[in-house]
């Protein structure tokens, strides 16, 4: 018997068509035809297809009025002024990449200090950035304050999603941490780390990592494009190398061992003895392991240190503008989050508190400065160069 009426193909095609038509997109960008849109009245502009920045956007943020009203106030004056308004707002929405344990502690500190509630969304920096871009493109006001890596912040800045940074506490922050729409609240040092039971003679300088004494025991973590770009530029600008020579240094180091995936896994494999040294480990993670008596060391540092910056920024058009500005200060003031970061072995961005974060030998580290904006602008180039290095290890 022939089926009557219904053909699955027809239903599928209809669903497909409905789906294609159903998305009530604010914006589309098609090949050769760039269309932009203003998001949520706040002035943010994004393209729907990927994240290629568009050229025109309105930079007037809805929160600008409040920023203007607090201009010239001292920290405590601004705190009192904003708290008064924030009490009538809804709970603040914080998007962050900080881990659960520390975020929970910061959330409690916020609630205890101001008697204000908080909603937190936590994910990896890239995931947070992705979600924010998608939300902004749909005109959805998801976050009030965001705390992710500077690299991802730069992308949000380009899209006009962030308001100008206005905290009076920016004066105390390290110079490398100041950007137009966001401010570093903590830094992560990427340094060579070794297991002292395996490596008795740690590297004397960066190129020394290519020495045969590390052959077969070196582990290079594969995701650090930013670290690579900053050191590569340093080798070019400060050491007078050509790009080819600088990249070759990395290739020689990579040829000395294996490529690994994941910073923590790499350190664990170092502790377990699978590897003896890694050029790119997180210093704070080492400190945490060392507290448990793990055989890891990163001092003295005889190689250029790259500081990966994590920063806070206020949404251009937040649901809770006063709470957002208040929390920006809360993260940057030397009274709340900054000392807390020291207590959990992290490195705060406040220059006075930074020295406290390290033990003897760690307090005089001056990280080399990376041009985050330029690296983001050329990210594909850096990714490809890094890919060459990583692949050269296995060839």
Partner 1 sequence: MALGSTEPRRNFPAAFGRRGSLGTRLLKYLGLAIVIGLTAYLVLVPLVFLVWRGINSGEGITLANIGQAYAVTGTGQMVWNSITFSVATAIVATTIGSALAFVSVRTNAPFKGILYASSLVPLIIPGILYTISWIFLLSDKIGLMNIALRQVGLGFLTVNVFSLPGMVIVEGLHLSPIVFLLMYAAFKATDPALEESAMMSGASVPQVVRRVTLPLVRPALLASLLVMLVRGLESFETPALLGIPAGKWVFTSQIYKALSTYPLRYDNAAIYSLTLIAITVVGLYFVSRANRQTSRFETITGKGFRPRPLDLGPWKWPVSIAFVIYFLVVVIAPLAMLAYMSFLPFFMQPGKAAFAAFSLENYGAMFDIPTVGRAIKNSLILSVGSATFLMLFMAIVAWITVKSKLRGRNLLDSVTTYPLAYPGLVLGVSLIFVYLRMPLPIYGTLWILFIVYVTKYMPYAMRYAANSITQIAGELEESAHMSGASWRSTFRRIIIPLMAPGLIAGWVYVVVVSVRELSASILLYRQGTEVFSVLIWELWEAGQTTQLAAVGVTLVLGLTVLVGIAYKVGANIGIRE
Among 260, 283, 338, 354, binds partner 1 (CB under 8 A): 260
Shortest separation between residue 18's beta carbon and partner 1, angstroms: 8
Name the segment binding partner 1 (CB under 8 A); options: 60-68, 76-84, 299-307, 372-380. Answer: 372-380
Strand extents, DSSP E, 56-131: 92-96, 118-122
362-to-287, 299, 302 alpha-carbon distances in Å: 11, 7, 12
Query: Does 55 sit near partner 1 (CB under 8 A)?
Result: no
CA nearest to 333, candidates 117, 110, 162: 110
Name the token pair of 11: 């239903």
Interface segment toward partner 1; rule CB under 8 A; list 49-57, 206-214, 243-251, 345-353: 49-57
124 binds partner 1 (CB under 8 A): yes
Q: Which of residues 289-318 bind partner 1 (CB under 8 A)?
A: 289, 292-294
Please report whether residue 255 would count as binding partner 1 according to CB under 8 A. no
Q: Which listed range, 69-77, 125-133, 164-172, 313-321, lies at the site for partner 1 (CB under 8 A)? A: 125-133
CB of 30 vs partner 1, minimal distance in Å: 6
Residues 187-216 that bind partner 1 (CB under 8 A): none
**Contact assessment for residue 345 and residue 287, using Cβ atoms and an 8 Å cutoff:** yes
- The answer to whether residues 46 and 27 touch, using CB atoms and an 8 Å cutoff, is yes
User: 316: which 2 tokens?
Assistant: 């251009």
Span 78-117, contacts to partner 1 by CB under 8 A: 99-101, 104
Nearest to 278 by CA among 266, 265, 291, 264: 266
Q: Give the span between the Cα atoms of 376 and 155, in whole angstroms.
A: 8
Pick the closer one to partner 1 by CB: 169 or 226: 226
Which member of 87, 204, 381, 391 binds partner 1 (CB under 8 A)?
391
Comparing CB distances to partner 1, the nearer of 7 and 364 is 7
Q: Select from 164-172, 186-194, 284-292, 334-342 the region that touches partner 1 (CB under 8 A).
A: 284-292
- Contacts of 43 by beta carbon, 8 Å cutoff, 6+ apart: 57, 58, 59, 60, 61, 62, 160, 316, 317
What are the helix and strand counts (H, E) for the chain? Answer: 15, 9
CB of 25 to partner 1, least distance (A): 6
Query: Residues in the chain, how many?
Result: 395
Q: Which stretch binds partner 1 (CB under 8 A): 71-79, 122-130, 200-208, 347-355?
A: 122-130
User: Cβ 259 to partner 1, closest distance in Å?
Assistant: 5
Determine if 243 is a binding residue for partner 1 (CB under 8 A).
Answer: no
Nearest distance, CB of residue 385 and partner 1, angstroms: 11
> Does 355 contact partner 1 by CB under 8 A?
no
How many residues interact with partner 1 (rule CB under 8 A)? 87
Across the strands, what pairs with 44? 39
Between CA 244 and CA 152 the distance in angstroms is 28
Calculate the CA 301 to chain-centre distance.
23
- Binding segment for partner 1 (CB under 8 A), chosen from 64-72, 312-320, 354-362, 373-381, is 373-381
Pattern of binders to partner 1 over 144-163, x per CB under 8 A?
-------x---x--------
Residue ranges in 57-76 that form contacts with partner 1 under rule CB under 8 A: none
In sequence order, the 6+-apart residues with CB closer than 8 A to the CB of 94 are: 103, 107, 118, 119, 120, 121, 143, 144, 145, 146, 147, 327
Single residue of 285, 321, 323, 347 touching partner 1 by CB under 8 A: 285
For residues 32 and 136, give the distance between their C-alpha atoms in angstroms, rounded to a whole number: 23
Per-position x/- string for 2-21, each x denoting binding to partner 1 as judged by CB under 8 A, each - no binding: -xxxxxxxxxx-xxx-xxx-
């Amino acid at each position: 018997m022939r089926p009557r009426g219904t053909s699955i193909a027809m239903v599928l095609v209809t669903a497909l068509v409905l789906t294609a038509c159903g998305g009530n997109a604010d914006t589309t960008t098609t090949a050769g035809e760039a269309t932009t849109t203003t998001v949520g009245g706040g002035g943010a502009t994004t393209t729907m297809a990927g994240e290629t920045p568009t050229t025109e956007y309105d930079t007037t943020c809805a929160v600008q009025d409040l920023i203007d009203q607090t201009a010239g106030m001292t920290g405590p004056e601004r705190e009192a002024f904003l708290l008064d308004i924030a009490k009538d707002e809804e709970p603040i929405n914080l998007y962050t990449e900080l881990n659960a344990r520390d975020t929970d502690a910061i959330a409690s500190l916020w609630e205890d200090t101001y008697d204000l509630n908080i909603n937190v969304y936590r994910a990896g920096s890239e995931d947070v950035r992705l979600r924010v871009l998608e939300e902004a493109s749909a005109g959805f006001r998801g976050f009030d304050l965001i705390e992710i890596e500077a690299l991802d912040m730069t992308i949000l800045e380009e899209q006009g999603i962030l308001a100008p940074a206005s905290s009076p506490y920016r004066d105390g922050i390290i110079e490398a941490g100041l950007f137009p729409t966001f401010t570093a609240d903590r830094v992560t040092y990427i340094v060579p780390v070794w297991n002292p039971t395996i490596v008795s003679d740690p590297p004397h300088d960066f190129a020394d990592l290519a020495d045969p004494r590390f052959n077969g025991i070196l582990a290079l973590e594969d995701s650090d494009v930013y670290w690579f770009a900053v050191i590569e530029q340093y080798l070019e600008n400060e050491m007078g190398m050509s790009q080819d020579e600088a990249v070759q240094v990395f290739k020689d180091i990579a040829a000395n061992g294996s490529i690994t995936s994941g910073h923590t896994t790499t350190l664990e494999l170092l502790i377990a003895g699978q590897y003896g040294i890694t050029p790119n480990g997180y210093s704070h993670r080492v400190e945490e392991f060392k507290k448990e008596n793990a055989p890891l060391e990163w001092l003295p540092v005889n190689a250029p240190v790259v500081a990966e910056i994590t920063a806070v920024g206020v949404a251009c058009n937040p649901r809770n503008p006063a709470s957002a500005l208040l929390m920006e200060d809360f993260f940057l003031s030397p009274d709340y989050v900054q000392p807390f970061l020291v207590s959990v072995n992290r490195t705060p961005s406040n220059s006075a508190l930074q020295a406290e974060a390290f033990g003897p030998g760690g307090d005089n580290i001056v990280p080399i400065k990376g041009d985050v904006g330029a690296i983001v602008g050329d990210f594909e180039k850096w990714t490809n160069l890094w890919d060459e290095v990583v692949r050269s290890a296995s060839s």
